[in-house]
Amino acid sequence: MDNRVSIAIDGPAGAGKSTVARLVAERLGYIYIDTGAMYRAVTLQALMDKININDETALTRVAVDVDIALRVNEKGHTRVYLNSLDVSKEIRSPEVSRHVSLVSRVPGVRKRMTQLQREMAARCSVVMEGRDIGTHVLPDADMKFFLTASVEERARRRHAELQERGYTLSFAEIVEDIKQRDNIDASRAVAPLKPAPDAEIIDCSIMTVEQVVNLIVTRVSGRFN
């Protein structure tokens, strides 16, 4: 009997998906897969190679050629490796954030990343987060959640996060960036951002991370334990 469980957590930029998914995976003992980090790694490689961000053929080639690995370190944190180099910090730079939605909308890039993500989910129980997990990558996921929050709240969280990492962007710049990313993610031709019909929508605007994690863990434990 196959006891693997797949949990899909989707939502727009800055909704807290990464933090929530990581903590849910830790609580459940599942593997956490940050699909957004994979697209960021492709974007980072494209920027380093000075690829034209509108050249879909070149971007697809980058996605096919690079080696991306997600590994859990001794502290239990997932690190992102690009061609064997730890780029966990570099992929979170404002420059990568500005371009990742443009890169991730390329059909060839999405096809390659989707293939890798499905291969990961086939090996073990996972909590996979992104923008199209429940609708496209794992349409048959056992449970699906869609996290959302107001633009202002998402911008506030992202502003604090970037300040902590030493980046200096104004709140207004981050609000505009999030609005642009939302538009690109929701309007792309392949696997646009939207809740799966069977996903539970959770508005995180006035909820703490702990409250959201507890809610999801309770839902999953109630079904599988």
> Which segments are annotated as binding site for ATP?
11-19
Contact between 131 and 36 (Cβ < 8 Å): yes
Contacts of 18 (CB under 8 A, 6+ apart): 34, 36, 37, 129
The three-state secondary structure class of 54 is coil
Q: If you count DSSP H runs as helices and E runs as strands, how many of each does the chain have, helices first? A: 8, 8
Q: Which residues are annotated as a binding site?
A: 11-19
The three-state secondary structure class of 194 is coil
Distance (Å, rounded) from C-alpha 163 to C-alpha 82? 25
> What's the one-letter identity of residue 100?
V
Label the pairing between strands 6-10 and 31-34.
unpaired
The three-state secondary structure class of 9 is strand
